Structure 1
Amino acid sequence: MRKIVVSLVLLLSLSFTLQAANFSKVAEGTPHLIQEGSQKMWCPVCGMNLKMFYKTSHAVVLKDGKKKQYCSIRCLVADWPIIKDKIKEILVVDAKTGELINAKSAYYVVGSKVKGTMSMVSKIAFAKEKDAKAFQQKFGGKISDFNRVFKIASESLNKDSMMVAKKKQMKMYPMGKKIYTKMCKPIDVKGFSHINELKAAIRAEKLCKPMKEKQLQAVALYLWNVKRVNTKRGCNCGMMRQNSSCNCNMNKMNMKGCRSSANMGQVASKMGLTKTDKCPVCGMFVYKYPKWAAFIYYEQDGKSKYLAFDGVKDMMKFYFEPVKWGKYENIKNSIKKILVRDYYTLKPVLAESAWYVVGSNVFGPMGNELIPFKTEEAAKNFMADHKGKKILRFNDITKEIVYKLDE
């Protein structure tokens, strides 16, 4: 009897998998793309082809008339801090008809057997409830509205970003580097504000030999997330937008583009974040993960400066080997203060006085983390609730412990 039940479960699972495989996110016919310019066919956040992921596509119309279109609600959420005060309308593709509809009136099916786009959980929208129910009956999942789905996407952004980053590091970046070396002219990424603009230029200006979409995406990701970041460590240009090249070339910007050291000191003293603060270790924009932010304040040439990190783990990697991440040969001798954020209160705590939990089931933007607390009691409570393995003080943290968290 037990064998029969197991066989039935396996058959049902296989059936769902085959059904999910039969659902294609690719546009049926000509996709409705509302972005302008030669970059309109690619997501401005991740660079993915909108036609290939059309049935999870979202778009926004801004108050100034500008339009942006994303491959998924995950990328909309990632771009949200930049656009949230400028939005006039949010749109989503009706997976049944392929038309763009008002996202706030859509019926979403969340967590179906269909694979998510840039996320571990799929989110498919429909204009009519009956279509959502028909999809749900075939592929599973729960029906929800935009506000709930947006909240789900926001709460899972860190884990989804970590999952995507790991996949890119394992496959896309090495592939992109190899293709770029063999098939492309030297490409300067300065001047591009989004990855889709870079992709459009590569194709339109014939900067590389003819290549397929997957090859183009790999090259763009390598240039945007690896080469650009590695050549721009430590840039503090305050006027650039998300995914910008952080270029302070005065021919392209006016004097307001670069923040003075005095203003930077004020921002740092408040433990604030700007939209251009990047972690010098992983290159991620720290403002997207404010609860995990950690800071090193230092002095250089008589001026107060700071570096922001998207977690204690990356901060400690930098602390142990600063020269590995840029031209910071003498920074250790000029460090004035190191701050972390208490996990529960989010208030700043001096790193040397904090308590850190390792080995818990709570993940930061880059996976396993050293999670800081102001008091030992708070650390103990957290460790009990989240299966932490050990509590450390700042001086107990070693390079070996830090890098073991990545295993």
Structure 2
Amino acid sequence: MVKRWIMVCLGLLLGTMMYAQEFSKVASKEPELIQKGEDKLYCPICGMNLKQYYKTSHGAILSDGTAKQYCSIRCLAADWEAIEARLVKVVVTDVVSEKLIDAKEAFYVIGSKIPGTMSQVSKLAFEKEADAVAFMKENGGELGRFENAFAKAKASLSDDVDEFIKKKQKGMYPMGEKIYHKACDKEKIHLHDFNTISELKIFVKKSQACGELEEKELQAVSLYLWEILRFAEHNHTHKSVIHVEKSEKCPVCGMFVYKYPKWAARMSYEENGKKMSHAFDGVKDLLKFYHNPSQWGNYTKLNDEAYTILVSDYYTQEAIDGKKAFYVIGSDTYGPMGKEFIPFATLKSAQSFLKDHKGSEILSFDKISEALVYAQDK
């Protein structure tokens, strides 16, 4: 009897191990990609190949008609603050059919034996509850819905980031640094030109700025450039940049501005003898506040001369006078809050950006009406 029980347990154990080994997150057919652009194959947060992690991928459909697609619910959680105000729907890959389905209708298996994607705890979605239950019998875990999986992803975000930084410090960062110094044409790579790691990654791949690279090598050098070198350049710059405290929230959208240094803007003024200063995560929100401050709190509209406005030059990241800047609208470049007024110190830079990024118009500060500001949200 004991021998039979041992054999049964061994059989179950071997079956579970085989399933875990056989399970692959890679798309078995052409993946359904909802992002647009040349970098649509890569997660905009971590740069990972969506085809390789397709069975854990999540997508966010936004109110302006655009979409983002992430390798995991962890990267969705990392980007949540930037997209929440514009979010229409979250979709997720059904493990069985490999179709994108409404995440709120999905059944999640949380904490199975399958390794997580960018997280220490795996979260896999199924369209049918029966499929999720069958998967749990083989791999363990607990059954939940999107809100359960997302809550766990948000709660563990800090720990997951720390854990994966440690792993990258041992492997991907050193590999990327070695490739960068040995193989990359440094004159071709201008890190301030890119909004996301996925944009940088597709540039390195297409331009062959670092030669012919395998996917792992491409990811390694992209991570090194984006997460190490980019911040080193920023920290050692002698240019005047807009300083934002970690506690400062945009008075319009409520997001922490320090997370988006590339888009930082600031408005300062004095009211009733009291000095006031507000940080914004983009020019668009600054303009909403500028035109109608009382809509966002107990603030009074002052005359234009009372306001000192600083915005971040898109190319140089230098703090420039917002009233003298040139703004491009209608481009294919989006900020944390979607369509943006992209600022430049010189008309030449604005014209170059307009041409390269399909912009529709260049405006001076005094030509931007409140109606035009809100038109960018449509």
* Alignment TM class, shorter chain as reference: 0.5 to 0.7
5 Å matches for 1:202-281?
202-233=204-235, 235-236=241-242, 246=261, 258-259=265-266
**Paired position in structure 1 for 2:190:** 188
Equivalents in 1 of 2:11, 2:162: separation in Å? 32
Give the structure-2-normalised TM-score.
0.63
Inter-CA distance 12–134: structure 2 relative to 1 (3 Å threshold): closer
Task: Decide whether the 8 Å contact of 1:82 with 1:242 is kept in 2.
Answer: no
Q: Does the 8 Å contact 1:237/1:247 carry over to 2?
A: no
**Conserved 8 A contact 2:267-2:277:** no
Q: Deviations over 1:43-84 (max 9, x none)?
A: 000000000000000001100011100000000000001001
1:223 alignment partner AA? L
Matched residue type, 2:152: I
Distance in 2 (alpha carbons) for counterparts of 1:243 and 1:197: 18
Query: 1:236 Cα shift?
Result: 2.9
Is 1:76 matched with 2:86?
Answer: no
Structure 2 CA distance for aligned equivalents of residues 42 and 242 of structure 1: 25
**C-alpha separation between the residues in 2 aligned to 1:72 and 1:242?**
24
CA distance in 1, matches of 2:9, 2:277: 57
Residues 94 and 125 of structure 1 are in contact (CA less than 8 Å); yes or no, is this contact kept in structure 2?
A: yes
1:225–1:266 CA distance, 2 compared to 1 (3 A): farther
Determine whether 1:123 maps to 2:123. yes
Quick one: structure 1 residues 260 and 94, their matched pair in 2 at CA, closer, same or farther if it must change by over 3 Å? same
1:66-145 paired onto structure 2 within 5 Å: 66-145=66-145
Residue 55 of structure 1 aligns with an amino acid whose one-letter code is K
Q: Secondary structure at the match of 1:228?
A: helix
Contact 1:193 1:241 in 2 (8 A): no
SS of the equivalent of 2:192 reads: coil
Spell out, residue by residue over 1:155-185, the C-alpha distance to the aligned partner (whole angstroms, 9 max, x if none).
1111111111111111111100001112211
Conserved 8 A contact 2:38-2:202:
yes
Task: Report whether the alignment pairs 1:27 with 2:27.
Answer: yes
Could you say what secondary structure the match of 1:65 adopts? coil
Amino acid at match of 1:236: I
Please tell me whether the aligned partners of residues 60 and 89 of structure 1 are also in contact (alpha carbons under 8 angstroms). yes
- Paired position in structure 2 for 1:300: none
1:250-309 deviation line (CA, Å, top 9, x unaligned): xxxxxxx5426779x9569xxxx9769xxxxxxxxxxxxxxxxxxxxxxxxxxxxxxxxx
Q: CA deviation at 1:208?
A: 1.7
Q: Closer, same or farther in 2 for the Cα pair 1:241/1:176, shift >3 Å? A: farther
Helix, strand or coil: the match of 2:225? Answer: helix
- Residue 139 of structure 1 deviates from its aligned partner by 1.3
Alpha-carbon distance in structure 2 between the residues aligned to 1:127 and 1:242: 38
Code of the residue aligned with 1:69 in structure 2: it is Q
Distance 1:6 1:12, change over 3 A: same
Quick check: 1:45–1:243 contact (8 Å CA) kept in 2?
Answer: no
TM-score by length of 1: 0.58
**Deviation of 1:21 (Å):** 1.2
Task: Tell me by how many angstroms 1:198 deviates.
Answer: 0.4
Q: Percent identity?
A: 44
Q: Specify the code of the residue in structure 2 equivalent to 1:35.
A: Q
- Residue 206 of structure 1 and its aligned partner are, at CA, apart by 2.2
Matching residue of 1:177? 177
Query: What runs of 5+ residues in structure 1 fail to find an aligned partner?
Result: 249-256, 277-407
The alignment's C-alpha RMSD in Å is 3.1
Alpha-carbon distance in structure 2 between the residues aligned to 1:267 and 1:10: 67
Are the aligned partners of 2:107 and 2:146 in contact in 1 as well (CA < 8 Å)? yes
Give deviations 1:318-345, integer Å, cap 9, x for gaps: xxxxxxxxxxxxxxxxxxxxxxxxxxxx
CA distance in 2: counterparts of 1:258 and 1:183, whole angstroms: 37
Deviation at 1:8, TM superposition (A): 8.0
Q: Aligned partner of 1:191: which letter? A: D
Partner secondary structure for residue 193 of structure 1: coil
Aligned partners of 1:193 and 1:243 also within 8 Å: no
Shift of 1:28: 0.8
Q: Contact 2:112–2:140 at 8 Å: present in 1 too?
A: yes
- Structure 2 unaligned regions, length at least 5: 245-249, 251-255, 283-378
Query: How far apart are 1:16 and its partner, in Å?
Result: 2.8
Work out which structure has the larger RCO, using CA pairs closer than 8 Å and 6 or more positions apart in sequence: 2
Q: Cα deviation per residue 1:5-53 (whole Å; 9 max; x = unaligned)?
A: 9998777555433321110000011000110011000000000000000
Matched residue SS, 2:112: coil
Structure-2 separation of matches of 1:177 and 1:132: 41
